[in-house]
Chain A
């Protein structure tokens, strides 16, 4: 697509983020404005900030790609990403705020008064943060590649550099405003083009066959296959090909492919006639954000769906960058109100990506072949509207996508760097925070450059799974069960989170390719979350002498509203 508008749009977003972060609303006030200057962040502003930080690349681009490739089954992703906040609202938000904890390790220490558990929680924060940063960087790489044809790792490098520079220089001081700004930017960047696209769809006679029949090409289209791919055909298909199919080289000739599986080499150019059905590409080997685990999903759809639901429902509460934002709420009730507002904002946002996915099924079905399904959102305006308008809308979407990478990545980097400085690196001070920032970004950046074509939406799912199996038991039992002991909490986090982590590693290494074991490892939440809970409960019951003293008082503080507590004390 035309990059002459997209690149300035991306640059504009980066500059705006840096400027709002450094100077935005740091207005000096005189004493007459004292009340204005020292007013706490309201629930709505804070909710926008949480949403802005939370809506990541996987949400912005990945869901549309997933819906495009795999159809309406994938709507569980947006549902899960949203419903996680419902669980957070019901069980965690207010008590977590009342605990006074800023980070998850703080919570572990406040509840269990144990340094060892604090360290362990810190280690898991770093692990989850790194797992979650990886897809952000890769998404940035993919976006920039689609927009300008730059090498895959460049986008990640840019995001990493901008984030480290702004965070380390202390440029994220007004982070609440930056993130709230990012939310509205992302919403606008999806909503405005979506309106135009729906109008274009109406003008096109509003075709409704998106999910009913196999996708078909609406016009003659040339598809260049980026990575080698296996195509499965239900019936014979005639294409014009230049390149290598099934080991035979064709040079711009009409080829009739019989039904069955055909291997297309990278670089082959296929021209499909109008109305030709889009062949199914055999996924699993090539990259992109929304592929990879599809195989096991197709084998065991029910298990995979439940695994996904459990991971996203319970994993949200353990995301380090989300938890720290709740500290900004002045008290428990405000934290609850904030969560309700977040549910509304995120719910509204997630209506849009599936719309793009459905439209993509109609207008850009060829993306399933090239492995660029995640670029659906970026390419749709160009395809459906075209011309200057299409370019401008495409630029808007690209800017929104970069806002998504920047906001999530900076939030995560701050959270991980905070834990690294406090609990891992030896001494304190501003310089060490900078060191922590560099370190927290360097590891995922190195990983993303080393392992270029990693399936990205799955990395997000796996980060959620690890978070759900380690922090969800800690938070829920820590808040609601008075017999939790430090050894129990440590064992539960280690076994639950650790096993999920091992499953993640095995899946990424592609250890068992197919079969039930692969499904088990690819969707670990369904067994690792109960395992974490069970270990935590059993070990706690086995060590009843180690219930921390003062547990009753701590739980009372978690659950009593602040006003009441002041009266009780006075």
Chain B
């Protein structure tokens, strides 16, 4: 009896899932059959077909997208055969009469050159060939011909010429949007590359000054610091890959802190709590070091007196599919309103672009849900939380450290 119940439970689960899925599928708003007059109905149908053809075309004109779009476009035109070409070859032939492919390509040379539509009779030896006549409508984006839409029919038809022209214009709009999409992606990539944190020039000056101050009094220390400086700059200047691992980033922070401690001595203390599980997490290159730099600055800023001490804690926790990194200082803090305006880009902060830069990059890589969370008030220190997903499509750390 109990076994039967168990089986029933197990059997019901996939059924529920299937029902859920079916419900989702059928709930889509294409059940407009009973709505409106026949004319309105036809309009709906046309719009629906057009909307189905749009998404593949939004990815540009390739063999795959052409194949997906061609069937819809042929329904839209109501012809026997429809063909999409690029500059050199037929991308897809939907419908009958596929043996005209080469002929079409030869006849297309003119329209592809001039960018003007044309209609012509097809030469065919087969007596029962279903298509005898073709109309060509070039696909142009920004005055450049990308390809052509060819509709074939058994006989001449003025309606088809007009319709093919309109559809081609509609396709042009989609291709222009695709172009726009592409340039937007390129822009984001360029932006990420531009945002790729630069280490602040002040830091370089200060570090060199500190090292210089040790050269006479403690040459050994100066040598160590120079090596730390070399390691840190090597890491931040490296060129390959936009991503790194949390372990590598923490090592860079370690070098950075060594230099900072040399400058501030006992005034700065740091505690770490790192869950080893999250060390292999991939994250945008140099996106935690600016946060630490920020904490150092804020921590020591409000305490101008040399005796003032500052404490920074860095925590990395394992939280399921995410890693949680928290960087906290007990310094001057900041007015939340001002901070919000800095992050929104309305005010440029006094010392560098650290926080908003990191925030922008995290949002671009992981999506808007993954911006920095900052808790602060004047005089209450600052706590910055970054959530890093353990897996994100396209995010791979470039290399591992060679030493183990």
Q: Are A30 and B11 in contact (CB under 8 A)?
A: no
Q: Are B321 and A103 in contact (CB under 8 A)?
A: yes
- Chain B residues contacting A330 (CB-CB under 8 Å) are 245, 247, 279-280, 400
Counting CB contacts under 8 A, is A540 at the interface? Answer: no
Q: Are B399 and A504 in contact (CB under 8 A)?
A: no
Which one of A28, A109, A131, A329 lies within 8 Å of B273 (CB-CB)?
A28
Q: Are A34 and B254 in contact (CB under 8 A)?
A: yes
Given known contacts A38-B272, A100-B282, A566-B240, A331 and B10 CB-to-CB distance under 8 angstroms: no
Question: Chain A CB within 10 Å — which of B6, B11, B317 has the most?
Answer: B6
B380 smallest CB distance to A (angstroms): 21
Q: Are B320 and A450 in contact (CB under 8 A)?
A: no
Per-position contact with B for A557-570: 1 when CB-CB < 8 Å, else 0? Answer: 10000110110011
Q: Are B319 and A430 in contact (CB under 8 A)?
A: yes
Counting CB contacts under 8 A, is B137 at the interface? Answer: no
Q: Are A569 and B240 in contact (CB under 8 A)?
A: yes
Interface positions, chain A 535-570, Cβ under 8 Å from B, are 545, 557, 562-563, 565-566, 569-570
Chain A, Cβ-Cβ closest to B63: A545
Q: Are B11 and A509 in contact (CB under 8 A)?
A: yes
Counting CB contacts under 8 A, is A510 at the interface? Answer: yes
Chain A, Cβ-Cβ closest to B312: A31
Counting CB contacts under 8 A, is A208 at the interface? Answer: no
Q: Are B247 and A451 in contact (CB under 8 A)?
A: no
Counting CB contacts under 8 A, is B277 at the interface? Answer: yes
Q: Are A110 and B391 in contact (CB under 8 A)?
A: yes
Counting CB contacts under 8 A, is B34 at the interface? Answer: no
> What size tier do the contact residues of chain B reach?
35 or more
- Chain B residues contacting A30 (CB-CB under 8 Å) are 269-272
Q: Are B269 and A34 in contact (CB under 8 A)?
A: no
Counting CB contacts under 8 A, is B52 at the interface? Answer: no
A393 smallest CB distance to B (angstroms): 33
Q: Are A510 and B7 in contact (CB under 8 A)?
A: yes
Per-position contact with A for B279-290: 1 when CB-CB < 8 Å, else 0? Answer: 110100000000
Q: Are A109 and B393 in contact (CB under 8 A)?
A: yes
Counting CB contacts under 8 A, is B189 at the interface? Answer: no
Interface size on A, residues (CB 8 A): 70
- Chain A residues contacting B48 (CB-CB under 8 Å) are none
Which one of A38, A101, A455, A569 lies within 8 Å of B398 (CB-CB)?
A569
Question: Chain A CB within 10 Å — which of B250, B393, B400 has the most?
Answer: B400
- Chain B residues contacting A414 (CB-CB under 8 Å) are 320
- Chain B residues contacting A421 (CB-CB under 8 Å) are 320-321
Q: Are B272 and A569 in contact (CB under 8 A)?
A: no
Q: Are B398 and A173 in contact (CB under 8 A)?
A: no
Q: Are B247 and A102 in contact (CB under 8 A)?
A: no
Counting CB contacts under 8 A, is A150 at the interface? Answer: no
Counting CB contacts under 8 A, is A352 at the interface? Answer: no
Given known contacts A34-B254, A328-B277, A330-B280, A505 and B240 CB-to-CB distance under 8 angstroms: no
Q: Are B277 and A175 in contact (CB under 8 A)?
A: yes
Q: Are A170 and B319 in contact (CB under 8 A)?
A: yes
Counting CB contacts under 8 A, is A305 at the interface? Answer: no
Chain A, Cβ-Cβ closest to B11: A505
B6 smallest CB distance to A (angstroms): 4
Chain A, Cβ-Cβ closest to B397: A100
Chain A, Cβ-Cβ closest to B64: A545
B365 smallest CB distance to A (angstroms): 14
Q: Are A33 and B272 in contact (CB under 8 A)?
A: yes
B276 smallest CB distance to A (angstroms): 5
B266 smallest CB distance to A (angstroms): 12
B42 smallest CB distance to A (angstroms): 32
Interface positions, chain B 348-404, Cβ under 8 Å from A, are 369, 390-391, 393, 395-400, 402
Chain B, Cβ-Cβ closest to A546: B64
Per-position contact with B for A405-436: 1 when CB-CB < 8 Å, else 0? Answer: 00000000010011001100000101001000
Q: Are A41 and B390 in contact (CB under 8 A)?
A: no
Counting CB contacts under 8 A, is B37 at the interface? Answer: no
Q: Are A127 and B13 in contact (CB under 8 A)?
A: yes
B68 smallest CB distance to A (angstroms): 10
Counting CB contacts under 8 A, is B4 at the interface? Answer: yes
Q: Are B247 and A38 in contact (CB under 8 A)?
A: yes
Counting CB contacts under 8 A, is B29 at the interface? Answer: no
Which one of B14, B277, B320, B402 lies within 8 Å of A176 (CB-CB)?
B277
Determine the distance from Cα of A173 to Cα of B279 in the docked complex, in whole angstroms: 13
Q: Are A100 and B396 in contact (CB under 8 A)?
A: yes
Q: Are A453 and B369 in contact (CB under 8 A)?
A: no
Which one of A29, A100, A103 lies within 8 Å of B271 (CB-CB)?
A29
Given known contacts A330-B247, A545-B67, A557-B396, A34 and B272 CB-to-CB distance under 8 angstroms: yes
Determine the distance from Cα of A113 to Cα of B317 in the docked complex, in whole angstroms: 28
- Chain B residues contacting A505 (CB-CB under 8 Å) are 7-8, 10-11
Chain B, Cβ-Cβ closest to A177: B276
Which one of A433, A450, A504 lies within 8 Å of B5 (CB-CB)?
A450
Counting CB contacts under 8 A, is A464 at the interface? Answer: no
Counting CB contacts under 8 A, is B17 at the interface? Answer: yes
Counting CB contacts under 8 A, is A515 at the interface? Answer: no
Chain A, Cβ-Cβ closest to B278: A328
Q: Are B273 and A40 in contact (CB under 8 A)?
A: no
Determine the distance from Cα of A452 to Cα of B330 in the docked complex, in whole angstroms: 55
Determine the distance from Cα of A173 to Cα of B275 in the docked complex, in whole angstroms: 7
Determine the distance from Cα of A428 to Cα of B9 in the docked complex, in whole angstroms: 28
Which one of A38, A103, A454, A570 lies within 8 Å of B254 (CB-CB)?
A38
- Chain A residues contacting B6 (CB-CB under 8 Å) are 447, 450-451, 454, 508-509
Determine the distance from Cα of A545 to Cα of B56 in the docked complex, in whole angstroms: 14
Which one of A38, A110, A127, A510 lies within 8 Å of B251 (CB-CB)?
A38
Q: Are B321 and A418 in contact (CB under 8 A)?
A: yes
Q: Are A570 and B240 in contact (CB under 8 A)?
A: yes
Counting CB contacts under 8 A, is A506 at the interface? Answer: yes
Counting CB contacts under 8 A, is A37 at the interface? Answer: yes
Q: Are A40 and B279 in contact (CB under 8 A)?
A: yes
Counting CB contacts under 8 A, is A181 at the interface? Answer: no
Given known contacts A30-B272, A109-B393, A452-B2, A508 and B10 CB-to-CB distance under 8 angstroms: yes
A145 smallest CB distance to B (angstroms): 16
Determine the distance from Cα of A436 to Cα of B260 in the docked complex, in whole angstroms: 43
Given known contacts A33-B272, A34-B250, A176-B277, A565 and B399 CB-to-CB distance under 8 angstroms: yes
Q: Are B67 and A31 in contact (CB under 8 A)?
A: no
- Chain B residues contacting A100 (CB-CB under 8 Å) are 282, 391, 395-397
Determine the distance from Cα of A454 to Cα of B14 in the docked complex, in whole angstroms: 20
Q: Are A38 and B274 in contact (CB under 8 A)?
A: yes
Q: Are A37 and B274 in contact (CB under 8 A)?
A: yes
Determine the distance from Cα of A557 to Cα of B394 in the docked complex, in whole angstroms: 12
Question: Chain A CB within 10 Å — which of B10, B247, B272, B398 has the most?
Answer: B10
Interface positions, chain B 241-265, Cβ under 8 Å from A, are 241, 245, 247, 250-251, 254, 257-258, 261
Q: Are B7 and A31 in contact (CB under 8 A)?
A: no
Given known contacts A102-B391, A498-B14, A569 and B241 CB-to-CB distance under 8 angstroms: yes
Which one of A31, A39, A176, A450 lies within 8 Å of B2 (CB-CB)?
A450
Q: Are B10 and A504 in contact (CB under 8 A)?
A: yes
Given known contacts A509-B3, A566-B399, A39 and B14 CB-to-CB distance under 8 angstroms: no
Interface positions, chain A 491-525, Cβ under 8 Å from B, are 498, 501-502, 504-511
With A34-B251, A106-B390, A175-B318 given, can you name 18 additional A-B contacts, CB distance below 8 Å?
A38-B254, A40-B247, A110-B391, A173-B317, A173-B318, A327-B277, A327-B280, A331-B280, A418-B320, A428-B369, A430-B319, A433-B320, A451-B9, A508-B10, A509-B10, A563-B400, A565-B399, A569-B398
A-B contact pairs, 30 of them (CB 8 A): A28-B271, A30-B272, A34-B254, A38-B251, A38-B274, A39-B276, A40-B280, A100-B396, A103-B321, A109-B393, A127-B14, A131-B10, A175-B318, A328-B276, A330-B400, A331-B280, A418-B321, A421-B321, A450-B2, A450-B5, A451-B5, A452-B2, A498-B14, A501-B10, A505-B10, A505-B11, A506-B7, A508-B3, A566-B240, A570-B239
Q: What 4 pairs across the A-B complex have the smallest Cβ distances?
A: A509-B7, A566-B399, A508-B7, A451-B6
